[in-house]
Amino acid sequence: MSTAELLGKQEYKYGFITDIESDMIPRGLDEDTIRLIVEKKNEPEWMLQFRLKAYRQWLTLTEPKHWPNLVYPEVNYQGIIYYSAPKQRVKKASLDEVDPELIRTFEKLGIPLTEQKQLAGVAVDAVFDSVSVATTYKEKLKKHGVIFCSFTEAIREYPDLVKKYLGSVVPTNDNYFAALNSAVFSDGSFCFIPKGVHCPMELSTYFRINNSESGQFERTLIVAEEGSYVSYLEGCTAPKFDKNQLHAAVVELVALDDAQIKYSTVQNWYAGDEEGRGGIYNFVTKRGKCAGRNSKISWTQVETGSAITWKYPSCILLGDNSIGEFYSVALTNHAQQADTGTKMIHLGKNTRSTIISKGIAAGKSNNSYRGLVKVMPKAEGARNYTQCDSMLIGSNCGAHTFPYIEVMNNSSRVEHEASTSKISEEQLFYLQQRGISQEDAVSLIINGFCKDVFLQLPMEFAVEAQRLLGLKLEGSVG
Amino acid sequence: MLEIRDLYASVDGNEILKGINLHVKKGEIHAIMGPNGSGKSTLAKVLAGHPAYEVTRGEVIYEGKNLLEMSPDERAREGVFMAFQYPIEVPGVSNAQFLRLAYNEKRRHLGEEELDPLEFKDLLKQRAKVVEMDASLMNRSVNEGFSGGEKKRNEILQMAVLEPRLSILDETDSGLDIDALRIVANGVNQLHGPNTAMLVVTHYQRLLNYIVPDFVHVLSQGRIVREGGKELALELEQKGYDWLKASNGGPNGLGVTAN
């Protein structure tokens, strides 16, 4: 079978659509839209002001179309529906009251929400289009003082915490997409780990876009107080549509003295078809602030989906001795484009950062790593190690590396290593000669290539990520 | 077990094999010798199914089946094994992980239960003795950073794990010092029995001091030009490959036929 035939066989198994009645607002965006969202969500005045400020800033900003290595048609921001929520008869008081259709949807995605089937050891916040529909293990976590709830609930129940930290890492005017998100975000997850608490289970949010014309603008805020620890997982899928959908999220992390946040993502938004029709435009701002001494923020991402990925999970290393890490696997196939990487901003003394990036390009896709390592004058003794490896599958794809290094003191050390390789016929033949099928051989080589990143993922996620890469590459060599 | 009839093969349009005939029975060891460029390694790769080689004529019957119709991995699962002249590195994949995957593929093919990592570890430990292989090499990436000798031993370890019926050793002696050669040959001999067969491709006679062939076939310019018993190898060693040119054996030569 030819490469193209094999590629055609590959199916996106999360591409189904849930038939559910939605409460939508008319498409388009102006100040009235924002007032409408605030009204729908019954939000306080300070949220309205936060959103309006962001919206006015957004109007003055321009879309970053020139510097990323991405090509896509103009996005019509007035053609998007900014709020879409599944209709519910009554406000859910417990999981049993969540629409069974939604429960079934998440079950199909491998995310059981009902009490008896919940994933052991993982608390899940399930977000469907614009709203959070269920959060599991809330009570159990509360006993440990851990707050894990939807953003809507956080605004209502914990306004002081939200006011204090919202926008403290990613200001509303940070960039075009962050400003847009700040103006219209409809839900997301909020986590708060109090002083000295080691969060007893993994926390996770599962994002699902269902409506073909709504964008998804979610917001995640994680605050880890002194000496606390949390591991957070994020997963995402969307149905197959011929049209592109916009996803512009903002994630803010705050780690105080001696706190640790481990944030892992497996991104599998619909990537569009072979010709590049449809798929998600994924424009995401993720940033963590190591505010306290000896704090640590670690990003691990496995990016396999989306038609366009524009994403640079970053760390601001403010506290002395703080540590930032970025482990990334970005895989592009068919007509996908990814421009992804990180920013490590060293401000405190003896701050350390590690960047391990693995880019895999197949089909006619384009895969770019873009990373900034910035060491400020006061960051004495700062260290960075960066390793960027690219792997090409076939000869119609592209891999690029754009490292930016700015060092403003002479006691710091910055290292950068890069490599590009290709899966060779000899390697495949060798593995096949041992009885391993060609597809398994490709998976094995790719998983070996990504090993340093997979080791950072929680066990179940690592297994899922490996399986996903295999699936995504099925038949792309031949 | 293996019947090669009038086999022609080419790579990049260059014809390398020009009518090979060979019959291998269970329990036999056949040595394939010949000067550089005679087609020895090509024959090995064609039998293993390397995609760069195109068979233009002839047939190969293995255990009653048309070998040339099978993909390389199918051939492997059917019991055809090739020890590579230049074993390939697979970064990030541990030797143990790779071997377990290959081993379980074969088990599945035979309709047997797969082994879990712990069960497999025991099996691996036991098989590693065949080539006196250090346990530390099991957790390292496949062939990455291995010395030449370790790579060749690793090939025989794979053979020990997969228990092929037909083994093709492609220049397994190249790059080995005398101690490593002895270990490798000793391992190969332990793996040979009445139900297996081997094709030993080699340029030099020295390997055949340790792995004693039942038949020796000498290739030149893509044809078998001489065939005989193990003494033919010794004669070649003495007289050199130039002797063949002088005596011009023609197809299948003047020697004793193996069939």
Query: What value of ipTM does the predicted structure carry?
Result: 0.93
pLDDT at B246: 59
What is the arithmetic mean of pLDDT over B200-221? 93
Q: Quick check: A290 and A322 in contact, CB under 8 A?
A: yes
Residue A402 has pLDDT above 50, yes or no: yes
Distance from the Cα of A4 to chain B's closest Cα (Å) equals: 18
> Which residue on chain A is closest to B101 by alpha carbon?
A436
Q: List the one residue out of A157, A183, A141 whose CA is nearest residue A34.
A: A183
Distance from the Cα of B131 to chain A's closest Cα (Å) equals: 18
Better-scored residue on pLDDT, B69 or A124 = B69
Residues in chain A, total:
478
pLDDT digits (tens, 9 = 90+) for A324-382: 999 999 999 889 999 999 999 999 999 999 999 999 998 899 999 999 999 999 999 99
pLDDT at B258: 38
Q: Quick check: A146 and A28 in contact, CB under 8 A?
A: no
Residues of B in contact with A425 (CB under 8 A): 51-52
pLDDT digits (tens, 9 = 90+) for A53-97: 999 999 999 999 889 999 988 899 998 889 887 776 444 556 666
pLDDT at A440: 87
What is the arithmetic mean of pLDDT over B232-256? 67
What is the arithmetic mean of pLDDT over B51-79? 96
Nearest CB among A425, A431, A435 relative to B106 is that of A435
Cβ distance of B109 and A435 shorter than 8 Å: yes
Is residue B259 a part of any domain in this protein?
A: no
Better-scored residue on pLDDT, A3 or B87 = B87
> Which residue on chain A is closest to B159 by alpha carbon?
A434
Residues of B in contact with A427 (CB under 8 A): 88, 90
Nearest CB among A424, A432, A449 relative to B72 is that of A432
Is residue B136 a part of any domain in this protein?
A: yes
Give residue ranges of B with CB < 8 Å to any A CB: 48-52, 71-73, 75-77, 81-82, 84, 87-88, 90-93, 98, 101-102, 105-106, 109, 141, 158, 162
Number of domains in chain B: 1
pLDDT at B26: 96
Residue A160 has pLDDT above 60, yes or no: yes
pLDDT at A273: 82
Cα–Cα separations (whole angstroms), residue B240 to A99, A171, A342, B185, B201: 85, 81, 63, 23, 17
Is residue B255 a part of any domain in this protein?
A: no
Separation of alpha carbons A357 and A351, rounded Å: 20
> Which residue on chain B is closest to A423 by alpha carbon?
B90
A5 pLDDT band, cuts 50/70/90, is very low
What is the arithmetic mean of pLDDT over B64-69? 96
Q: Does A447 touch chain B (CB under 8 A)?
A: yes
Residue A6 has pLDDT above 60, yes or no: no
pLDDT digits (tens, 9 = 90+) for A97-134: 677 777 777 777 666 676 656 666 667 777 777 667 67
Q: Residue A52 is inside which H or E element, if any?
A: helix A45-60
Residue B256 has pLDDT above 60, yes or no: no
Separation of alpha carbons A55 and A176, rounded Å: 10
Better-scored residue on pLDDT, A164 or B149 = A164
What is the arithmetic mean of pLDDT over A6-28? 68
> Which residue on chain B is closest to A450 by alpha carbon?
B92
> pTM, whole model, 2 decimals?
0.83
pLDDT digits (tens, 9 = 90+) for A432-457: 999 999 888 988 999 899 999 988 88
List the domain boundaries for chain A.
9-424
pLDDT at A169: 98
Q: Does A440 touch chain B (CB under 8 A)?
A: yes
Residue B250 has pLDDT above 60, yes or no: no
pLDDT digits (tens, 9 = 90+) for B125-184: 999 998 888 878 888 999 999 999 899 999 999 999 999 999 999 999 988 999 999 999
Mean pLDDT of chain A: 87
> Which residue on chain B is closest to A454 by alpha carbon?
B92
Residues of A in contact with B82 (CB under 8 A): 433
Cα–Cα separations (whole angstroms), residue A450 to A341, A389, A470, B204: 15, 9, 12, 41
Q: Residue A207 is inside which H or E element, if any?
A: strand A202-208
Cβ distance of B81 and A433 shorter than 8 Å: yes
Distance from the Cα of B220 to chain A's closest Cα (Å) equals: 26
B80-B83-B84-B87 Cα dihedral, nearest 10 degrees: 120
Cβ distance of B93 and A445 shorter than 8 Å: yes
Q: Which domain holds residue B227?
A: 2-247
Q: Does A442 touch chain B (CB under 8 A)?
A: no
pLDDT digits (tens, 9 = 90+) for A256-268: 999 999 999 888 8
Percent of chain A with pLDDT over 90: 55
Residue A229 has pLDDT above 90, yes or no: yes
What is the arithmetic mean of pLDDT over A203-207? 82
Q: List the one residue out of B215, B222, B241 whose CA is nearest residue B46.
A: B222
Distance from the Cα of A307 to chain B's closest Cα (Å) equals: 29
Separation of alpha carbons B9 and B12, rounded Å: 10
Is residue B254 a part of any domain in this protein?
A: no
Query: Which residues does B55 contact at the CB level (< 8 Å), separation at least 6?
Result: B7, B8, B9, B46, B68
Whichever domain contains B220, its CATH number is 3.40.50.300
pLDDT at A7: 36
Separation of alpha carbons A358 and A303, rounded Å: 10
pLDDT at A423: 85
CA B19 from chain center: how many Å? Answer: 20
User: Which of the residues B54, B70, B88, B97 would you substitute to probe the A interface, choosing the one with the greatest number of A C-beta atoms within 10 Å?
Assistant: B88
Cβ distance of A436 and B102 shorter than 8 Å: yes
Nearest CB among A434, A441, A448 relative to B91 is that of A448
Residue B259 has pLDDT above 50, yes or no: no
What is the arithmetic mean of pLDDT over A194-212? 84
Lowest-confidence segment of A419-423, A457-461, B18-22, B247-251 by average pLDDT = B247-251
Lowest-confidence segment of A170-174, A470-474, B91-95, B187-191 by average pLDDT = A470-474
Q: Does A6 touch chain B (CB under 8 A)?
A: no
pLDDT digits (tens, 9 = 90+) for A313-329: 999 999 999 999 999 99
Q: Quick check: B132 and B46 in contact, CB under 8 A?
A: no
Distance from the Cα of B223 to chain A's closest Cα (Å) equals: 25
Is residue B145 a part of any domain in this protein?
A: yes
Query: Which residues does B37 contact at the CB level (< 8 Å), separation at least 6?
Result: none
| Number of helices followed by number of strands (H, E) in chain B | 8, 12
Instruction: Please give the DSSP secondary-structure letter assigned to residue B88.
Output: P
Is residue B257 a part of any domain in this protein?
A: no
First to last CA, chain A: 8
Distance from the Cα of A216 to chain B's closest Cα (Å) equals: 37
- Tokens 């204090």, located at residue: A164
Residue A476 has pLDDT above 60, yes or no: yes
Residues of A in contact with B76 (CB under 8 A): 432-436
Percent of chain A with pLDDT over 70: 88
Better-scored residue on pLDDT, A132 or B48 = B48
Cβ distance of A429 and B50 shorter than 8 Å: yes
Q: Does A356 touch chain B (CB under 8 A)?
A: no
Separation of alpha carbons A184 and B20, rounded Å: 74
Cβ distance of B88 and A426 shorter than 8 Å: yes
pLDDT at A234: 85
